[in-house]
């Protein structure tokens, strides 16, 4: 409660706007950007849309929870619209309080401004499960193995490609319905006391089942990792990525352009896996988020674009 109250205090005194005018320019207070959070809070492991409007904005970015997020033209508001949006993510490990947000806006006339705000992070509702791992895979439970893999992926997922491949196709889950383990689940292995977090959704499928691209994009990584085994990462633009782990075969190479539903590999049981399945994950702005929640949101944005509303 104390944390919440101090967060609320910060929130109330926030919205501090600092603007620096270029030399020899008259003050242009009317062109101050307006920043709106299209949400009341962001849940752990989920995303929220930041909306930026104002005249003469060239580009802008947001800093939130140590990650940088670029703004892109809002696809929902028509051709002449100059509004921009950023898709912000909160890590599953984010503490439940208000976190500072900084938005930097750069104008066509050379001026810039900084908008300070706060974002409330709310509970992500995660389950628990206990897994049994074969003895030969137990060394892969060492924390250094997880840390090394996470550090590599965080840097890969922090890239922002301005192309909006995903908007042309929308996203599709590997399968509607049946899965065995969802995003964010707290896990223990072989009766141990150490907790691990699940970064995606597990779909049990026989070895050899085709793995299809969830959306249009570009292949950002193929290779073999300790935990994920044979692994493919697709970059869909706007800092949105999908990952496909434990594959038996990979049919694509880095740089390949792929279309939604294109077969990019085959399901397998490689890496730290307890049986043939597809581990599917989605990253936004450098962190893994809940596919079952964010994919419907992305598809909603795409729908509103098609309707021209
Ligand atoms: Zn998994």
Q: Which of 91, 124, 157 is the last residue of a domain?
A: 124
Domain span holding position 86: 2-124
Same domain, 163 and 284: yes
Distance from Cα 221 to the centre of ligand 1, integer Å: 18
Question: In the prediction, which pLDDT does 81 show?
Answer: 84
Question: In the prediction, which pLDDT does 307 show?
Answer: 57
Residues facing 283 on adjacent strands: 241, 288
Distance from Cα 279 to the centre of ligand 1, integer Å: 4
Question: In the prediction, which pLDDT does 306 show?
Answer: 59
Distance from Cα 197 to the centre of ligand 1, integer Å: 10
Distance from Cα 272 to the centre of ligand 1, integer Å: 9
Tell me the CATH number at 34.
2.60.40.10
Coil, helix or strand for 147? helix
Angle at 146 between CA 142 and CA 149, to 5 degrees: 140
Question: In the prediction, which pLDDT does 78 show?
Answer: 79
Residue from 238, 201, 200 nearest 217 by CA = 238
Same domain, 13 and 135: no
Question: In the prediction, which pLDDT does 161 show?
Answer: 92
Coil, helix or strand for 148? helix
Distance from Cα 280 to the centre of ligand 1, integer Å: 7
Distance from Cα 307 to the centre of ligand 1, integer Å: 36
Question: In the prediction, which pLDDT does 179 show?
Answer: 87
Distance from Cα 70 to the centre of ligand 1, integer Å: 29
Tokens (6 digits) for 110? 């050379």
Distance from Cα 147 to the centre of ligand 1, integer Å: 16
> 1-44 pLDDT, tens per residue?
444 444 444 433 333 444 444 444 444 444 489 999 999 999 99
Sort 135 into a burial class: Cβ within 10 Å, 0-12 / 13-18 / 19+. exposed
* Angstrom distance (rounded) from CA 260 to CA 270: 24
Same domain, 217 and 240: yes
Distance from Cα 291 to the centre of ligand 1, integer Å: 12
Same domain, 134 and 258: yes
Tens digit of pLDDT at every position of the chain (309 positions):
444 444 444 433 333 444 444 444 444 444 489 999 999 999 999 999 999 999 999 999 999 999 999 999 999 987 778 899 999 999 999 999 999 999 999 999 999 999 999 999 999 989 999 999 889 999 999 989 999 999 999 999 999 999 999 999 999 999 988 888 899 999 999 988 889 999 999 999 999 999 999 999 999 999 999 999 999 999 999 999 999 999 999 999 999 999 999 999 999 999 999 999 999 999 999 999 999 999 999 999 999 985 544
Q: Which of 59, 91, 124 is the last residue of a domain?
A: 124
Question: In the prediction, which pLDDT does 82 show?
Answer: 87
Same domain, 238 and 282: yes
Same domain, 281 and 136: yes
Domain count for the chain, please give it.
2
Model confidence, pTM: 0.87
Q: Are 281 and 174 in contact (CB under 8 A)?
A: no
Same domain, 144 and 181: yes
Question: In the prediction, which pLDDT does 177 show?
Answer: 81
Where is 150: in which H helix or E strand? helix 143-157
Distance from Cα 202 to the centre of ligand 1, integer Å: 5
Residue from 157, 159, 164, 173 nearest 302 by CA = 164
Distances (CA, A) of 67 to 1, 62, 213, 249: 27, 8, 26, 33
Q: Are 283 and 298 in contact (CB under 8 A)?
A: no
User: Concatenated DSSP letters for 232-254?
Assistant: EEEE-STTEEEEEEEESEE---T
Residue from 290, 236, 227, 239 nearest 264 by CA = 236
Same domain, 7 and 85: yes
Same domain, 120 and 234: no
* Angstrom distance (rounded) from CA 59 to CA 72: 8
Distance from Cα 107 to the centre of ligand 1, integer Å: 43
Same domain, 61 and 148: no
Distance from Cα 196 to the centre of ligand 1, integer Å: 11
Distance from Cα 144 to the centre of ligand 1, integer Å: 18
Tell me the CATH number at 206.
2.70.70.10
Question: In the prediction, which pLDDT does 13 show?
Answer: 38
Distance from Cα 10 to the centre of ligand 1, integer Å: 38
Query: Under 8 Å CB-to-CB from 209, ≥6 apart: which residues?
Result: 266, 267, 278
E-strand ranges in 65-127 read: 67-70, 72-73, 84-89, 98-107, 112-122
Distance from Cα 282 to the centre of ligand 1, integer Å: 12
With the CA atoms of 212, 249, 226 and 216 taken in that order, what torsion angle do they form, in degrees rounded to the nearest 10? -30
* Angstrom distance (rounded) from CA 146 to CA 149: 5
Distance from Cα 63 to the centre of ligand 1, integer Å: 29
Q: Are 271 and 230 in contact (CB under 8 A)?
A: yes
Residue from 104, 133, 94, 102 nearest 118 by CA = 102
**Sign of the alpha-carbon torsion through 202, 204, 206, 211:** negative
Distance from Cα 19 to the centre of ligand 1, integer Å: 46
Q: Which of 100, 124, 148 is the last residue of a domain?
A: 124
Same domain, 289 and 164: yes
Distance from Cα 55 to the centre of ligand 1, integer Å: 45
Same domain, 154 and 273: yes
């Amino acid at each position: 409660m104390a944390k919440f109250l101090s967060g609320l205090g910060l929130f109330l005194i926030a919205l501090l706007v600092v603007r620096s005018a270029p030399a020899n320019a008259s003050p242009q207070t009317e062109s101050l950007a307006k920043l709106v959070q299209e949400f009341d809070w962001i849940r752990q492991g989920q995303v929220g849309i930041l909306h930026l409007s104002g005249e003469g904005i060239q580009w802008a970015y947001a800093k939130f929870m140590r990650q940088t997020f670029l703004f892109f033209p809002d696809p929902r508001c028509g051709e002449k619209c100059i509004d921009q949006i950023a898709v912000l993510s909160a890590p599953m490990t984010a503490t439940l309080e208000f976190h500072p947000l900084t938005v930097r806006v750069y104008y066509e006339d050379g001026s810039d401004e900084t908008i300070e705000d706060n974002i409330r992070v709310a509970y992500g509702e995660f389950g628990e499960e206990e897994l049994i791992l074969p003895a030969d895979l137990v060394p892969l439970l060492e924390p250094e193995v997880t840390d090394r893999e996470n550090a590599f992926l965080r840097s890969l997922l922090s890239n922002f490609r301005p192309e909006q491949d995903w908007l042309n196709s929308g996203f599709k889950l590997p399968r509607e319905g049946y899965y065995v383990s969802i995003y964010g689940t707290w896990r223990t292995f072989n009766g141990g006391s150490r907790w691990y977090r699940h970064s995606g959704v597990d779909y049990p499928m026989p070895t050899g089942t085709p793995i299809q691209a969830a959306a249009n994009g570009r292949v950002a990584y193929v290779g073999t990792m300790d935990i994920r085994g044979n692994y493919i990462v697709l970059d869909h633009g706007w800092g949105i990525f999908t990952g496909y782990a434990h594959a038996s075969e990979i049919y694509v190479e880095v740089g390949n352009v792929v279309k939604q539903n294109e077969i990019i590999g085959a399901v397998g049981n490689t890496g730290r896996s307890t049986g043939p399945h597809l581990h599917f994950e989605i990253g936004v702005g450098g962190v893994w988020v809940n596919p079952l929640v964010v994919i419907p949101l992305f598809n909603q944005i795409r729908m509103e674009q098609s309707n021209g509303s």
